């Protein structure tokens, strides 16, 4: 630090650059040369801040726009820092000279009677040096031995140093310097800060209990230099003229008092936790990779051993099975041979016994008794033969009678079967006639309705006289058949909903298709929807959508479901009966644009129900709705846009009521890019629905960040200016003005509504 009267050479001593003569370099340049010589680029880093304290305001000489930097003190260590100051990393001496030259150009100086270039501020150069060092390795002792080959890795340390070079503004007496006006205020500020520095030096030299460090920003910045943890050098400059004897004496007394101040030097080291964590992460990754490699090798070895063991077990089992089969065949052959030998021996023994018995009876003289026995046996045999013949005759007689009865019964059964077949044909014919009657009646009523519409169109066009006979006959037919009701309502009343629904299960494809169309037309009128649902019409339509592959049936069934889905009560029934997942499946399978339009319309109606939001997402309804964009047909895209607008409106209502706090499910499903892309669609219905969807999405603050990143902000701004509908323009304007994020982004982009 350089201290002294103005014009005595403080700036010359500290800040001289020495561009023409290197021997005239100041302490700032010389100290940086010394630092650069003694640092290593691998372990050390140097950064510089250059400031000035002007009128009790800290200003950045490297960034003049930064003209009010605050001082921050660490409550734990008491260290002073300037977080708002510019830090420039120094690589060589030339870059440092450029910084000094830039700072000197921004430093404030003025011409006084005592000095033609009098510094009007205190210049402070801060050089920060950091060095990374490693601590000592520590061996980890074990239970068996005090030392071990396990070594704890050294802890990385960061050693910090700070060199502060202060070129104080010179103290001056106003009578001698001739300062006036603003320069007088500058002189007052300089003298006050130097006076506060002198008070602090006096208090430290006298070991006073209170040191008034907070009286000036200069003393707060230099609290480490006097009585702190720094090694401090003070340069005192004086003038040789006896005219300034008082100032010279005051300066020397300041230096004498400063020499009595004692500082406690301390090396500032701290752990480099980031470097240690980075190194440990690398080691951990290597260990994990090695462990995975070893685990994989172990698993491969175990698998190889298991496979080898299984092969060996299979081979042993196969050999054992073959040996067992051979042994079984051998035993079986031996058994058969033994049985054959025993049978031969038994026959031989029987023949031998019979021969011996006959010879014995003959030798004993029992011939007459034997003859009598033979006669008795012959009689019994004859009697038995006669009875058997009689029985056979009786059986034959009974068989013939049974055959006659069976022939008579077979003729009756054939007659009954013929009658049953005829009756079934009659029933089938009757059912077919009823179906044809219903079809013809509905066709006639629809033709009547179309003729009535044509007559009305001709009447409005003023061409009623061109067909004079058309009005009266058509009116008479219509009045006679429908009683001034629409043809569909007349069909509903005359035929009955149950019979119409029964036709949905007809085996005739044409009948089934026509019945679906009739149900769809009936469902278009709200008065008929309740009766259709009560009669099971919704269930029948869902079954048709699920089971039939005919594109016409699927299209018309989806249209009927879309009509029923306009009623909120029916929407919950559709959800309960699995209609959402069924519609999603149909949307992914179908390719016909009209079928997709009907399915999209049904899902769009369901999107307007607040209670079905979560179910629509979980069962794939939202994804199916967005998937139908692949068709690119304007009618399909219009229904998709309507569904998205209905869904966004329900979410906006939920967020306004405090029910929903997280971002939109539409954004989660990836709908935002398509919404932004379609905001300028040429088709008016698509564009109107998309504009409404954007407005509803923007009403929820949680969606604002995603909408800004996705480009929706520009579309909302365009809507406020170019939308053809006043209500949508007003809604977009209110939404943008009510959102903090949107307002902040518009200010940043300089967008005005």
Binding site residues for ATP, as ranges? Answer: 4-11
Which secondary structure element, helix H or strand E, spans residue 440, and what is its range? helix 367-460
Query: DSSP per residue over 662-727, as a string?
Result: S--HHHHTT-HHHHHHGGG-SSHHHHHHHHHHHHHHHTSGGGHHHHHHTTHHHHHHHHHHH-S-HH
728: which residues sit within 8 A by CB, 6+ positions away?
Answer: 688, 691, 692, 695, 719
Whether the CB-CB separation of 703 and 664 falls below 8 Å is answered with yes
Query: DSSP per residue over 617-680, as a string?
Result: HHTTHHHHHHHGGGG--HHHHHHHHHHHHHHHHHHHHHHHTTS--S--HHHHTT-HHHHHHGGG
Q: Is the dihedral of CA 138, 143, 148, 152 positive or negative?
A: negative
Q: Where are the beta strands (DSSP E) in 197-249?
A: 235-237
Query: DSSP per residue over 326-360, as a string?
Result: HHHHHHHHHHHHHHHHHHHHHHHHHHHHHHHHHHH
| CA 25 to chain CA centroid, nearest Å | 63
Whether the CB-CB separation of 168 and 2 falls below 8 Å is answered with yes
Burial (CB count within 10 angstroms: exposed 0-12, middle 13-18, buried 19+), residue 684: exposed
> What phi and psi values does residue 57 have, to the nearest 5 degrees?
-130, 130
Within 10 A of 582 (CB to CB), how many other CB atoms are there?
A: 20
Whether the CB-CB separation of 565 and 605 falls below 8 Å is answered with yes
Q: Specify binding-site residues.
A: 4-11
Whether the CB-CB separation of 679 and 691 falls below 8 Å is answered with yes
């Amino acid at each position: 630090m350089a201290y002294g009267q103005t014009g005595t050479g403080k700036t010359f001593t500290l800040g001289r650059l020495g561009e023409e003569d290197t021997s005239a370099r100041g302490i700032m340049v010389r100290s940086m040369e010394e630092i650069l010589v003694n640092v290593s680029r691998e372990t050390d880093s140097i950064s510089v801040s250059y400031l000035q304290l002007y009128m009790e305001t800290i200003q950045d000489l490297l960034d003049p726009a930064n003209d009010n930097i605050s001082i921050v003190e660490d409550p734990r260590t008491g260290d002073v820092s300037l977080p708002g100051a510019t830090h420039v990393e120094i690589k060589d001496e030339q870059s440092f000279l450029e910084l000094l030259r830039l700072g000197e150009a921004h430093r404030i100086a003025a011409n006084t009677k005592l000095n033609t270039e009098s510094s009007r501020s205190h210049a402070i150069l801060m050089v920060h040096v950091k060095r990374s060092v490693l601590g000592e390795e520590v061996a980890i002792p074990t239970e068996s031995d005090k030392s071990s080959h396990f070594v704890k890795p050294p802890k990385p340390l960061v050693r910090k140093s700070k060199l502060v070079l202060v070129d104080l503004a010179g103290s001056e007496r106003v009578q001698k310097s001739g300062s006036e006006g603003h320069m007088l205020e500058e002189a007052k500020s300089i003298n006050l800060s130097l006076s506060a520095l002198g008070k602090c030096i006096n208090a430290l030299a006298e070991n006073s209990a209170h040191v008034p460090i907070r009286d000036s920003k200069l003393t707060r910045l230099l609290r480490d230099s006097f009585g702190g943890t720094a090694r401090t050098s003070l340069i005192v400059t004086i003038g040789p003229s006896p005219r300034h004897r008082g100032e010279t004496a005051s300066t020397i007394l300041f230096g004498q008092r400063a020499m009595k101040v004692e500082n406690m030097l301390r090396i500032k080291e701290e752990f480099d936790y980031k470097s240690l964590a980075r190194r440990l992460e690398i080691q951990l990754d290597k260990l994990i990779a090695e462990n995975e490699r070893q685990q994989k090798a172990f698993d491969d070895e175990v698998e190889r051993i298991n496979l080898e063991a299984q092969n060996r077990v299979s081979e042993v089992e196969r050999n054992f099975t073959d040996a067992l089969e051979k042994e079984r065949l051998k035993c079986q052959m031996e058994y058969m041979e033994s049985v054959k030998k025993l049978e031969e021996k038994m026959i031989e023994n029987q023949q031998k016994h019979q021969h011996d018995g006959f010879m014995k009876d003959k030798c004993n003289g029992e011939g007459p008794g034997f003859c009598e026995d033979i006669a008795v046996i012959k009689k019994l045999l004859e009697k038995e033969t006669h009875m058997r013949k009689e029985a056979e005759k009786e059986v034959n007689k009974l068989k013939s009678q049974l055959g006659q009865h069976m022939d008579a019964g077979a003729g009756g059964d054939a007659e009954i079967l013929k009658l049953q077949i005829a009756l079934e044909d009659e029933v089938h014919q009757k059912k077919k006639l009823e179906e044809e009657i219903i079809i013809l009646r509905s066709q006639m009523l629809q033709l009547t309705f179309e003729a009535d519409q044509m007559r009305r169109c001709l009447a409005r066009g003023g061409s009623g006289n061109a067909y004079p006979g058309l009005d009266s006959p058509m009116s008479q037919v219509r009045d006679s058949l429908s009683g001034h009701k629409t043809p569909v309502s007349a069909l509903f009343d005359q035929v009955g909903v149950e019979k119409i629904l029964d036709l949905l299960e007809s085996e005739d494809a044409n009948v089934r298709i026509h019945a679906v169309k009739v149900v769809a037309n009936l469902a278009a009128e709200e008065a008929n929807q309740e009766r259709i649902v009560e009669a099971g019409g919704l269930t029948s339509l869902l079954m048709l959508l699920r089971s039939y592959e005919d594109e016409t049936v699927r299209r018309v069934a989806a249209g009927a479901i879309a009509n029923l889905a306009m009623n909120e009560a029916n929407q919950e029934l559709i959800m309960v009966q699995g209609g959402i997942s069924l519609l999603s499946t149909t949307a992914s399978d179908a390719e016909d644009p009209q079928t997709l339009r009907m399915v999209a319309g049904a899902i769009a109606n369901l999107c307007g129900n607040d209670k079905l939001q979560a179910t629509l997402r979980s069962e794939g309804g939202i994804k199916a709705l967005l998937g139908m964009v692949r068709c690119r047909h304007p009618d399909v895209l219009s229904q998709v846009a309507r569904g998205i607008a209905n869904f966004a409106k329900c979410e906006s209502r939920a967020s306004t009521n405090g029910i929903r706090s997280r971002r939109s499910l539409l954004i989660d499903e990836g709908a935002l890019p398509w919404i932004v892309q379609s905001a300028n669609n040429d088709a008016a219905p698509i564009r109107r629905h998309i504009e409404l969807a954007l407005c509803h999405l923007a009403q929820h603050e949680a969606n604002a960040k995603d909408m800004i990143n996705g480009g929706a902000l520009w579309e909302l701004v365009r809507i406020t200016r170019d939308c053809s509908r006043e209500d949508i323009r007003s809604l977009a304007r209110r939404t943008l003005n009510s959102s903090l994020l949107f307002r902040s982004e518009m200010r940043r982009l300089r967008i005005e509504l």
